[in-house]
């Protein structure tokens, strides 16, 4: 999809969610830091809760530069492996939300160490709970994803080429 098509889908999703539910935008480590900045500038008025994995996790400097330039918290990186990788991201200021995959980092013990390191720096912590296969199905509009599951306002957003529908 093109930049403009992506923005149209993100705007449609925000419209379907309304202002009171969280919108999280995930780039799946697919953007250069320059392109990620372009997206961040465009989506900032939509008040996303976070911009997830906007760059490759190895591009620590580029992601840190993005994090300094945008008001959107950067979340990541489910693809990072282990506490050393997260320490580099956290120490550089590349993430404001430490988001790790327990399998990818080596299990619960390693995840707890990453969480403790992030919390010592007053960062939010979350884990990636939905498999990559399900994410691909959601992106293709073949299934829906539940949003807002942490409270009573849970809704389902269905994304299609025609836009977004909230049920």
Cis peptide before 77 (omega within 30 of 0): yes
Closest CA to 21 of 41, 54, 46, 40: 46
- Strands 74-76 and 50-52, by their bridges, are parallel
- Please write the tens of the pLDDT for every residue from 6-64: 999 999 999 988 999 899 999 999 999 999 999 999 999 999 999 999 998 899 999 99
Cα separation, 124 vs 152, whole angstroms = 21
Dihedral of CA atoms 145, 148, 153, 156 in degrees, nearest 10, equals -10
Residue 164: band (very low, low, confident or very high) from pLDDT cuts 50, 70, 90: low
Taking each helix axis as running N to C, give the angle between helix 108-120 and helix 82-92, from 0 to 180 degrees, rounded to the nearest 10: 20
Instruction: Enter the tokens of residue 19.
Output: 């202002």
Does the pTM surpass 0.85? The reply is no
- Please write the tens of the pLDDT for every residue from 80-133: 888 999 999 999 999 999 999 888 888 888 988 999 999 999 999 988 754 454
- Strands 97-100 and 155-160, by their bridges, are unpaired
- Residues pairing with 51 in the sheet: 25, 74
Cα separation, 148 vs 32, whole angstroms = 29
Q: Quickly count helices (H) and strands (E) in the chain.
A: 7, 8
Q: Is 129 helix (H, G, I), strand (E, B) or coil?
A: coil
């Amino acid at each position: 999809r093109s930049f403009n098509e992506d923005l149209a889908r993100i705007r449609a999703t925000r419209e379907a969610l309304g202002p009171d539910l969280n919108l999280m935008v995930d780039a799946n480590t697919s953007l250069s830091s320059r392109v990620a900045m372009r997206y961040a500038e465009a989506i900032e008025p939509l008040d996303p809760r976070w911009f997830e994995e906007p760059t490759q996790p190895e591009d620590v400097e580029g992601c840190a530069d993005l994090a300094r330039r945008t008001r959107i918290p950067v979340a990541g990186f489910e693809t990072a492996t282990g506490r050393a990788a997260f320490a580099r991201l956290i120490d550089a200021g590349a993430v404001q939300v430490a988001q790790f995959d327990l399998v990818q980092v080596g299990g619960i013990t390693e995840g707890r160490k990453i969480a403790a390191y992030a919390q010592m720096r007053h960062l939010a912590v979350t884990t990636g709970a939905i498999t990559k296969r399900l994410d691909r199905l959601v992106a293709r509009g073949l299934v829906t994803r539940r949003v807002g599951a942490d409270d009573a306002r849970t809704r389902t957003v269905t994304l299609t080429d025609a836009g977004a529908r909230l049920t």
